[in-house]
Amino acid sequence: MSNSKPAPERAARTVRIAAIGDLHIQTHIPEHLHRDLAALRGAVDVLVLAGDLTEGGRIPEVELVAAMLATVDVPMVAVLGNHDRRGLRRAVMRRTYEASGVRLLDGDMLRLDVPGGPAIGFAGVSGTGGGFWPDESPRVPGARFSQAIAVKSRREAARLHAALDSLEAHDVDAMIVLMHFAPTVSTLGAEPPMKYWMLGNSQLGRVVDAHPVDLVLHGHAHLGNEFGRTPGGTPVRNVAAQVTGGIAIYEVARGRQVRTITPAPVGAHPDRMDLVRPRD
């Protein structure tokens, strides 16, 4: 008879996540952003960047953002947004961000073991538009979605599904999905319904709800609202800077337990209004 005993289960930990998206950096970094990023040291387990860090994906913009992020003393995870993807030099973009300490997700997963802290599971895709009919909103009258958009929507959903399937094999303290486009209309706020097809798609939400995801973070919907849920009840947060007013911080635990630490409504920070410029 073997005297070996099964390893005790690891005690669950709470994960503290800082998140922001849609900085749309072009030629300069706002001074307050440097201060806010520096303040994250020792306060959070990870910084999550929900895409559109640059305005046009140009390498000088990428280098400017990367130089800023290289000073951040916490792990960083990111996805690209539609503005970032305007740049054609994707391999250079990836190398530049990764050299600054950013793990860029594009249809893959990551188990992040914070030294002395929690294990955090991430699955990330940029996502795409495509719309939410018939799941969450009526079909826009006269709308005709191109075959290319439909194919891309299915592809991004399939890539997210594969990443989450892989992630489920790992023991983590929180399972986080990161994307740029929205998986639900519940965070689209004041965005006009005629634009919903540009802002996200319901296939992403269906994939999320098929897995034990604790929190979804996205950006892109500048006129949206911060708090929402998928049709299956998974918490969703729109962390576009135009919505939150700056870096938002959440505490997350298994079982979809999410608590907001630093709510930051638009207008709460007068010196951050340079981040509140609506862009498509």
pLDDT tens digits along 166-178: 999 999 999 999 9
User: Residue 123 and residue 216: Cα distance in Å, rounded?
Assistant: 10
> Residue 275 — pLDDT band, cuts 50, 70, 90?
very low
Residue 28: partners with Cβ closer than 8 Å, 6 or more residues away:
64
pLDDT of residue 264: 42
Q: Is residue 134 over pLDDT 90?
A: no
* pLDDT of the residue at 47: 98
Q: What confidence category does residue 125 fall into, taking pLDDT thresholds of 50, 70 and 90?
A: very high
Band (pLDDT 50/70/90 cuts) for residue 204 is very high
Higher pLDDT, 162 or 6: 162
**% of the chain surpassing 90 pLDDT:** 77
Query: CB count, 10 Å around CB of 152?
Result: 16
**Is 191 strand, coil or helix?**
coil
- pLDDT beyond 80 at 106: yes
Question: Domain coordinates of the chain in residue numbers?
Answer: 15-275
Backbone phi, psi, residue 266, to 5°: -55, 135
Q: Give 10's pLDDT tier (boundaries 50, 70, 90).
A: low
Say what the pLDDT of residue 57 is: 95
Are residues 276 and 266 in contact, defined by beta-carbon separation less than 8 angstroms?
yes
Q: Which residues, 6 or more positions from 11, have their beta carbon under 8 angstroms from its beta carbon?
A: none
pLDDT-derived band at 90 (thresholds 50, 70, 90) equals confident
The top-level CATH class assigned to 15-275 is alpha beta
- Tell me how far apart the alpha carbons of residues 65 and 28 are, in angstroms, rounded to a whole number: 9
Beta strands in the chain (DSSP E): 15-20, 46-49, 76-78, 102-104, 108-113, 119-124, 174-178, 215-218, 227-229, 235-238, 248-253, 257-260
Q: Which residue has the higher pLDDT, 58 or 272?
A: 58
**Mean of per-residue pLDDT scores for the chain:** 88
The residue assigned the tokens 């790992």 is 170
pLDDT at 93 over 50: yes
Its pTM surpasses 0.85:
yes
How much is the average pLDDT of 178-206? Answer: 96
Q: Is the pLDDT of residue 215 over 90?
A: yes
Beta strands in 125-234 (DSSP E): 174-178, 215-218, 227-229
